[in-house]
Amino acid sequence: MESVLNSDFLFGHRYHPEALIGRGGMANVYVGTDTRLQRRVAIKALRPEVAVDSESRKRFQREAHSVSAMGHPNIVRVYDAGEQTIPDVSTEVPIPYIIMEFIDGKILRRLMDAGAFEPKVAVHVALGILDALDESHRSGIIHRDIKPGNVMITHSGLVKVCDFGIAQAVEDPTNDPSAIVGTAQYFSPEQAKGDIIDGRSDVYSTAVVLFEMVTGTPLFTGDTSVSIAFQHVTQTAPRARSRRPELSPEFDMVIAKGLEKDRNARYRTAGEFAAALRSVTNLVGSGRADRAAQPPETPPVPVSVVATGGPDPRQGSKFPVESGLSNNATTDGTVMDLNDLRPLLTSDTPPKGNVVRWGLLGAAGLLVVASVIVGMMYWVLTLNSGSNIGSLAVTMPDVTAETFETAESQLTDLGLTVVRRVQVSETVPEGTVISTSPEAGVNLAVGEIVTVVESSGKPVAAIPSIDFMTMANATAALEAAGFTVGTSTPGYSPTALVGEVIGSDPVAGTRVSGGSVVNIVVSNGKIEIPDVVGMSVGQATALLQGSTLQLDVTVVPDANCGGQTIGSQSITGEAPQHSKISIVYCAG
């Protein structure tokens, strides 16, 4: 397809490819120009040998549909999509393409290859990923391939998650349900086993990336992808502090919870994981918060959601976004100064902090020796008194059947550290404690960790995505997930074939109890054309040619009327997909 670079070929009659910047097994990615808006774009086009397969084209369309439904600064935006024959390639097979935001930045993988990040930099990147996932999961979309190669950082420090190409493929009935999709190094255990997955799989993969960023080493290694995947299923994840001792216990516990083998023991959502990271007061131990030594008056670096660093077109050319990092703040809620990131972004060499690491290790060693000596002296001096023996331990109370808040209060009042885990229960009400570890009656040291298992109530499930399925396959997918299929109603779609499913009610991703009724919306092969009379030419053409309508528009100037607006249009209301429409522009 490189022939498109040596001609005047335009995707969608407006997007000119200029250079190949990425090549994958399914698609090529070009940098190009939107000739109408004169802006840089990325053009992702399915490879011709893949485009001959109708299922591959549907999956490619699903990626465009999935990402275009989301508008978040941490997700690469989709501007347009379509299919088009390329004369120099084939006059018979249409090539699907997606027009995306061009990211002028660096791939996270390349930055991580230089070594461990400073904890605050790693948390900044992880929060960007989690905020993007929180948005996609709310839209019913599971990424399924979170890894450093699918994350970019712009020169302004903004984190961008890309490549939703295999998102939700697990719900595609044409796939082998036991097929493993993703990258073994960052697999969740359920992915490695071929189980049905949900958003908690993306949470695990993000925790794996965060672990590698702060330690500079992969979570698991092996000679083959199979051996690595097997470790994700069977091996207990090492603690981050075992490889980087200066990390604080609080930060280490947050990472460890994200790496739990049992998905029910992990964070329930990406938003919950992000909240846990933001709540960490010290990223490194010894009471030292991991923060840059910046003067208080130093202002935060403005961040634009536009990859080139320019103003955000959604806000208007005169109003660049200067929100600091509202979604990517430091753990104490303040905005992180991105000056700390600039050496990382320009040199490809993240700060390693080796001097700090060895200094902390040496200080920790001296502290341990001193603590042992003091402890032995105290024990000798108080050996015969017996008066303080009772204060050295507490008895674990029985907090089962209490609310989690009540149990947490009782345990923290005794000086114990509480770790919360959530578990589905058919019998224990939501928010009530099911069990504790250690159990009631055990003598514990002050400060010891107690795991409290809280009930999340009766099991619920997320409604799967059934977009672009046949009615029969959609019905089978919903019933397999434990739902009852209700009514089917027709709806409008610019691309779906007649009878193809285009949505559900409730929408995909909504968590409801098993057996709930789910209604289906199917394509009637038509679209509903709005009235654009009175709009400007730009507004009218953008609406009619946009992703929700995809009409073939002809603008006819009329000097007999004035106002510089649309005076009339050839059709309104219901019409076939890809209809031709004429709009009269009052140019008098």
Q: Give the span between the Cα atoms of 258 and 189, in whole angstroms.
A: 12
Q: Give the span between the Cα atoms of 237 and 248, in whole angstroms.
A: 17
What's phi and psi for 467, nearest 5 deg? Answer: -60, 140
Q: Give the span between the Cα atoms of 63 and 57, in whole angstroms.
A: 10
What's phi and psi for 277, nearest 5 deg? Answer: -65, -40
Q: Give the span between the Cα atoms of 510 and 518, in whole angstroms.
A: 11
Q: Give the span between the Cα atoms of 82 and 57, in whole angstroms.
A: 11
Query: Please, are residues 528 and 556 in contact by the beta-carbon 8 Å criterion?
Result: no
Alpha helices by DSSP H, listed for 216-269, are 225-234, 249-258
Tell me which of 145, 198, 252, 337 is the catalytic residue: 145
Cβ-based neighbours of 67, under 8 Å, separated by 6 or more: 75, 76, 77, 78, 100, 164
- Core vs surface per residue 206-239: b (16+ CB within 10 A) or e: bbbbbbbbbbbeebbeeeeeeebbbbbeeeebeb
Q: Taking the CA of residue 195 as centre, how many other CA atoms within 13 Å lie in the half-sphere pointing to its CB? A: 14
Question: Is 145 known to be catalytic?
Answer: yes
Q: Give the span between the Cα atoms of 80 and 96, in whole angstroms.
A: 11
Helix (H) or strand (E) holding 80: strand 78-86
Active-site residue list: 145
